[in-house]
Amino acid sequence: MKTINKYIAYGIIGVATLASCNKSFLDHPSENNPTLDTYYNTADQVLKATGYLYNSVWYDYQDKAFHAIGETLAGNMLTETGPNYGSGSYNLFTVLSTDPLVSSCWQSLYKVAGTATVLINTFEQKKGKATETNYLNQGIAEARFMRGAAYFTIARTFGDVPIVTDPVALAGSGNYSVPRYFQKDVLQFALEDFRFAEQNLPAVPAEKGRVCKYSAAGMMAKLYLYRKDYDSAKIYAQRVISSGNYDLYPDYAQMFTSSKANNNVESLFALQWIAAGGYSYANPIQVYAAPSTLLKPVVGTGYSSVYPTLDMLKAYDANDQRRQWSVMEHGFKRTDWTNINFPSGFVYDTTGTAYEDATHFRNGTRSNSLKYVVGTGSNGEALSSNGSSDICTYILRYADVLLIYAEAVLGNSASTADASALTAFNKVHNRNHNFSDVPVTSLTKAIILHERRVEFAFEGDSWFDIQRQGFAYAKSVINAQERGTLNGDGTVNHAAANLNSESQLFLPIPQSETVSDPKLLEPAVAYY
């Protein structure tokens, strides 16, 4: 009996062991995705990877920091005073290192840089294994453009900052401390990336919306201007102008309120948003900038968290049509934007007595910016579930290149009547017959900076125009601005910023970062 039992039992054990002795029993590579060994072997795979850099990696910068830094510090917009925007600290220059937008801006921009860097290094490694490397070089150039754009923005926002070129090596090293590098070196680092892109990207983008050689040249011109290297700025701006590939888009208002204008003839570099992607893929600006009367019944948003300052509204010349092309004020109407409360077209109505009701809206300056507001979707604009849209965010447009050119020609002179500078300037100034096509006949720094302020208002770049003039200038401009709001009776509740220290030209490094890398609290060192 017992012998038989044993045989049965051993039999069972044998079956069990056989089942698992199979060598592959413990091999379970992911069923969901390829691995690095099996990928980036075709041009298309590389191209799609760099395409990723135009979108969600920028999101946390785009949604709030973009306005708070680029516009609010500049005095063009006020933010709400809730903690979302650091309790309104950008309005008054009281930004702390624990500020939420300091963190999200830092994180997002370094995410752009880090993702680009991983792609650059991955493509470099793949180059060693591939037979045909051209597509990998193109991928590297496009990723370096993005990294340059990220570091350019980081350097302008935070000043002296760390640079990381090999995150994998750093992760493996066990020592994550990196010092801050001088801002000029960070700008140089960004410039090298742009230069590589300028030399390696095609003259015509591989697909509409991607960057090309001239996008890089334009960014270089902008960076040179920042460094007051007017000769170089002029050369690279000229290179873009001479290409003949760019022009101004004739309809300024449409350019900023319709995704149909995406990647138009004026656009050299724009972030590419996708409404269908939803949160973090879609352009959220109207979610924060539009009034609730427009969006709330449709998608529950329209927070009016950022809106024009009285100072900005005052800055428009009486005849400058860019005011109505850029700002909603009482009486503004769009018949193609409809919602449940405005079936025959949205009307911006500030005559209510409360902050908001279904059809009236009355914020602190009775105005909202129009740029990147595309409406309720009633005219065919795609919206995500919170009202974010497809509209691209212009980072560099041809108007900028023209004004850079004019400013570069002016250089350190008090004024200029140089014909090429005036032509470039007036092309922007008289777009769409603005100012009745009456040109400006002499340029000064003040004229150019004023033109830049109104031309680029609400586009997230204004603060850097002030900042690059230095502390004394910034102080005189900023502290003189009206940053107050209107009371219920229309009187002004005055407020002014207090820019009193040169360090306020830059945001503090987020506290969470200085905790993990105390070296960031030490004086900056040279990178080059």
- Residue (177 or 415) nearer to another protein, CB: 177
Task: Find the shortest distance in angstroms from Cβ 527 to another protein.
Answer: 14
User: Taking Cα atoms as reference points, which of 334, 316, 388, 340 lies closest to residue 349?
Assistant: 334
- List CB contacts of 401: < 8 A, sequence separation 6 or more: 218, 221, 237, 240, 241, 246, 268
- Residue (149 or 408) nearer to another protein, CB: 149
Task: Find the shortest distance in angstroms from Cβ 140 to another protein.
Answer: 15
- Residue (273 or 458) nearer to another protein, CB: 273
- Residue (336 or 418) nearer to another protein, CB: 336
**Sign of the C-alpha dihedral computed for residues 105, 106, 109 and 114 taken in this order:** negative
- Residue (65 or 408) nearer to another protein, CB: 65
- DSSP assignment string, 132-185: --HHHHHHHHHHHHHHHHHHHHHHHHHSSB---S-HHHHHHHS------B-HHH
- Residue (18 or 446) nearer to another protein, CB: 18
User: Taking Cα atoms as reference points, which of 151, 214, 488 lies closest to residue 351?
Assistant: 488
d(CA 145, CA 151) in angstroms, rounded, equals 10
Q: What SS3 class is residue 283? A: strand
What is the residue whose two structure tokens read 């039999």? 11
CB 142 within 8 A of CB 200: no
Task: Find the shortest distance in angstroms from Cβ 414 to another protein.
Answer: 27
- Residue (247 or 317) nearer to another protein, CB: 317
Task: Find the shortest distance in angstroms from Cβ 236 to another protein.
Answer: 26
Count the residues in the chain: 528
Task: Find the shortest distance in angstroms from Cβ 101 to another protein.
Answer: 8
Task: Find the shortest distance in angstroms from Cβ 230 to another protein.
Answer: 32
Residue type, 486: L
CB 302 within 8 A of CB 387: yes
Task: Find the shortest distance in angstroms from Cβ 223 to another protein.
Answer: 20
- List CB contacts of 308: < 8 A, sequence separation 6 or more: 76, 77, 78, 327, 365, 367, 368, 369, 457, 458
- Residue (224 or 249) nearer to another protein, CB: 249
Task: Find the shortest distance in angstroms from Cβ 163 to another protein.
Answer: 9
User: Taking Cα atoms as reference points, which of 412, 407, 397, 54 lies closest to residue 218?
Assistant: 397
